[in-house]
Amino acid sequence: MASNASKVPFLRVVAKRGFAAQACPRPLGKAADVQSNVLPNKVVVATAESSLPVTRVSVVFRAGSRNENYDSLGANHIIRIAAGLTTKYRTGFSITRNLQQIGGSLTASSDRELLTYTIETTSDKQEVGLKLLQDIIAPAFKPWEISDVAPRIRTQVAAVPPQIRAVELLHRAAFRTGLGNSLYIPKHKIGKISSETLLHFVASNCTAGRCAVVGVGIDQNTLSGFAQSLELESGGGKDSPSKYCGGEIRKEKGGDRAVVAVAGEAVFANPQEALAYAVLERALAPQPAVKWGNTNGALAKAASSAAGSTPVCISALNATYSDGGLFGFVVSADAGVAGKAVEAAARVLKAGTVSGDDVNRGKALLKADILEAYGTDAGLIATLGNQAALQQAVQSADNMLAAVDSLSQSDIQSAARKAGSSKLSIGAIGNLVNVPYASDLS
């Protein structure tokens, strides 16, 4: 039997409006204006108009994998899987059935810093969607349900691409713990994490002081009322800093290919300096402008030249977090030329130089990406969630573009020198017979 949640008023302040009143309040593709405030319970609330008669609401916690300890390694992976299972207030059947009745969808995602629950509904069903979301963020972790999803977790872990595995190994080598914790549960922990451990992790990290509620296509006052009504424990605070150690983890798998991730420490004191690494990423190895095209930039030219006629795939790696990060590159190539490609790209990284033309191109590409993020509802909800949860405030698209324009070539050069002069870390998987060790790249 379906739940009767849709028959019960949830927020009296939610006005019932038809599609005619909701249709396209913001032109499609135009950057949205955003509003934000911090509630008395320390929850950050941010909203923006939608380009469609669709409401998207995310509850974001600073509860990513960096907050796991040895006993709870992999908790984030299980929490993502358990998003549609029984909670303290609803069964899994009730959640699924009510989402189907209103034509909504639920998404749970996490990274090293954030755990996010997002619900999407048509604007005239936002009241029911908010009630569902309120119940979903209070998981129960029934032991029999956690056991039932173990095969699905094993399948997901086995299906992780080698490029992602290399980046995960790189983080582990660079930070060891904290930011070094993987987004995926270790194989030896599958089926070993108890419900009590998961509940303790949620109770410790999913608190009001570590929470942001963001929405697109919903009124600021409505969302503030929803956020104020959430049953969250008080408390919060900053995450424990992760110290960059530098190191190397190699996983020999044989075969005829190698995937190698190489990075130095990305050091920045403020968001403005962090933007410099985003420009540098697009300056050294921008993504192809056409489908199936070649990657341009200094990193790609160096790696391709070293590999000769053998194709090499290379992309810049910019992993930026609230208190640091990594900057480098990921190479995927035939085992015979992978070593030469890595050495050539590492020389470019350690040189710490970037041309004026590359900087101008990087800034233009970054501004295009910012406008795309603010111009689409899906990109906007993710952008608002990241900023609100990590910075306790949100920036308008105009402010972001102005910040990018204010960066000079010397700012980008400084970021390049910091990453290139630091101790390099390596994460590698595949046939590594010709892949150099970290000491060989110093």
Q: How many residues does the chain have?
A: 442
Q: How does residue 442 score in pLDDT terms, banded at 50, 70 and 90?
A: confident
pLDDT digits (tens, 9 = 90+) for 350-384: 998 899 999 999 999 999 999 988 888 899 999 99
Q: What are 287's two structure tokens?
A: 């993504």
Using CA of residue 125, residue 128, residue 132, residue 134, what is the dihedral sign? positive
Position 30 scores a pLDDT of 65
Position 424 scores a pLDDT of 95
- Please tell me the distance from the alpha carbon of residue 53 to that of residue 18, in angstroms, as a whole number: 9
Position 327 scores a pLDDT of 96
SS3 category, 105: strand
> 15-29, 39-53, 71-85, 223-237: lowest mean pLDDT where?
15-29
As a whole number of Å, the end-to-end CA separation of the chain is: 65
pLDDT digits (tens, 9 = 90+) for 210-226: 999 999 999 999 999 99
- Please tell me the distance from the alpha carbon of residue 373 to that of residue 218, in angstroms, as a whole number: 18
- Please tell me the distance from the alpha carbon of residue 106 to that of residue 119, in angstroms, as a whole number: 5
Q: How does residue 6 score in pLDDT terms, banded at 50, 70 and 90?
A: very low
Q: How does residue 16 score in pLDDT terms, banded at 50, 70 and 90?
A: very low
Query: CA dihedral defined by 340, 342, 343, 348, rounded to 10 degrees?
Result: 130
pLDDT digits (tens, 9 = 90+) for 55-89: 999 999 999 999 999 999 999 999 999 999 999 99
> 27-41, 42-56, 328-342, 353-367: lowest mean pLDDT where?
27-41
In CATH, the number for domain 248-441 is: 3.30.830.10
Position 291 scores a pLDDT of 78
Position 159 scores a pLDDT of 95
243 phi, psi to nearest 5 deg: -80, 135
CATH (one of 3.30.830.10, 3.40.1370.10, 3.20.20.210, 1.10.10.1100) for 10-229: 3.30.830.10
Position 26 scores a pLDDT of 66
Position 287 scores a pLDDT of 81
Position 44 scores a pLDDT of 95
pLDDT digits (tens, 9 = 90+) for 81-140: 999 999 999 999 999 999 999 999 999 999 999 999 999 999 999 999 999 999 999 999
Position 173 scores a pLDDT of 96
Residues 149-154, mean pLDDT to the nearest whole number: 95
Tokens 């600021």 — which residue? 220
Residues 185-200, mean pLDDT to the nearest whole number: 95
- Please tell me the distance from the alpha carbon of residue 339 to that of residue 337, in angstroms, as a whole number: 6
Position 105 scores a pLDDT of 95
Average pLDDT of the chain is 89
Is-same-fold flag (10-229; 248-441)? yes
Q: How does residue 3 score in pLDDT terms, banded at 50, 70 and 90?
A: very low
- Please tell me the distance from the alpha carbon of residue 59 to that of residue 290, in angstroms, as a whole number: 35
Assessment of whether the complete model's pTM goes beyond 0.85? yes
Residues 194-205, mean pLDDT to the nearest whole number: 95
Q: Delimit the domains of the chain by residue range.
A: 10-229, 248-441
